[in-house]
Each structure stands twice: as C-alpha cells, then as structure tokens.
C-alpha cells in the first residue's frame, strides 16, 4: 500500500471528505502533495493539509480515537505482530516496550489492518 493511499484511507476513517486533489499542493519532502480539497460535495471549498499519519505520532493518536473498544483490542494484536519478531501470544515486557515505542508508520499499518483497509503493496 503506498504511503499516499495509507494517508487517504486513514483520513477518510477520521471523517475527511476528499473531493479532489487541488492544483498546487505542498510537497512535504516525501513526494506526496499534502493539500486536499475537503468538504461535503458539491461544496468542497475548504482547503486543509492532509495529516502526515505515517510520520506524525500526534496525528496517529488522534486517528486511534476513532476505534471502538473491540477494534482497539484488534489494533493491539496487529501492532504486536508488526513490532515483534517473536511470539506475540505471550505478553512480555519486551513486547510492551516495542509497542510503546512503535513508529507512526507502524501504528498506521496496524490501524488499517484493524479496519481491513490494508492492501499489500503490488510487487
């Protein structure tokens, strides 16, 4: 899944309505245009910068608030499997430490997997 596709999918879960990409967006250095036109069609006049969920822990923490209790449990299981190279069926301090220090990109992947929005990157 491309970084741009991940950002858009997370934003949509968080209530963003992307009508179309605006011309002349801002490239934040990762090659992704950050400026989207959002709003409820046909209005679509409010311009905002799409959060950089894959590099911003604060943005991901806000996104995680959109998960209900059951989804939060699923999220934790996905995150454990993403950050760990050992048995995630056993909760250890090492696993907890890895989960607490997860990157924004790891949180984003676990978030998307939880909601069945993750698609493998095409080879």
pLDDT (tens digit, 0 to 9) for every residue of the chain, 123 residues total? 888 889 889 988 988 776 554 444 444 545 444 455 555 455 555 556 778 899 999 999 999 999 999 999 999 999 999 998 766 667 788 888 999 999 999 999 999 999 999 998 754
In a domain, 7, yes or no: yes
Domain span holding position 65:
3-114
In a domain, 61, yes or no: yes
**Spatial contact of 10 and 112, defined as CB atoms under 8 Å apart:** yes
Count of structural domains within the chain? 1
Q: How many Cβ atoms sit within 10 Å of the Cβ of residue 77?
A: 15
Burial label for 59, CB within 10 Å (0-12, 13-18, 19+), is buried
**What tokens appear for 108 in the block?**
């984003």
In a domain, 51, yes or no: yes
Tell me which residue of 80, 60, 48, 46 sits closest to 6, measured CA to CA.
60
In a domain, 123, yes or no: no
In a domain, 120, yes or no: no
Q: What is the pLDDT of residue 22?
A: 47
Tell me which residue of 111, 118, 17 sits closest to 62, measured CA to CA.
111
In a domain, 122, yes or no: no
In a domain, 68, yes or no: yes
Tell me which residue of 77, 98, 73 sits closest to 88, measured CA to CA.
77
Q: What is the pLDDT of residue 66?
A: 96
In a domain, 92, yes or no: yes
Question: Could you give the CA distance from residue 12 to residue 112 in angstroms, rounded to a whole number?
Answer: 11
């Amino acid at each position: 899944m491309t970084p741009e596709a991940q950002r858009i999918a997370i934003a949509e879960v968080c209530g963003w309505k992307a009508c179309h990409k605006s011309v002349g967006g801002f490239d934040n250095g990762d090659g992704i245009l950050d400026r989207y036109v959002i709003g409820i069609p046909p209005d679509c006049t409010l311009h905002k910068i799409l959060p950089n969920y894959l590099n911003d822990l604060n943005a991901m923490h806000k996104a995680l608030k959109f998960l209900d209790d059951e989804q939060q449990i699923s999220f934790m299981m996905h995150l454990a499997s993403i950050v760990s190279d050992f048995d995630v069926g056993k909760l250890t301090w090492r696993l907890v430490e890895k989960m607490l220090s997860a990157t924004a990109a790891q949180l984003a992947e676990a978030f998307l997997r939880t909601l069945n929005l993750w698609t493998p990157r095409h080879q």
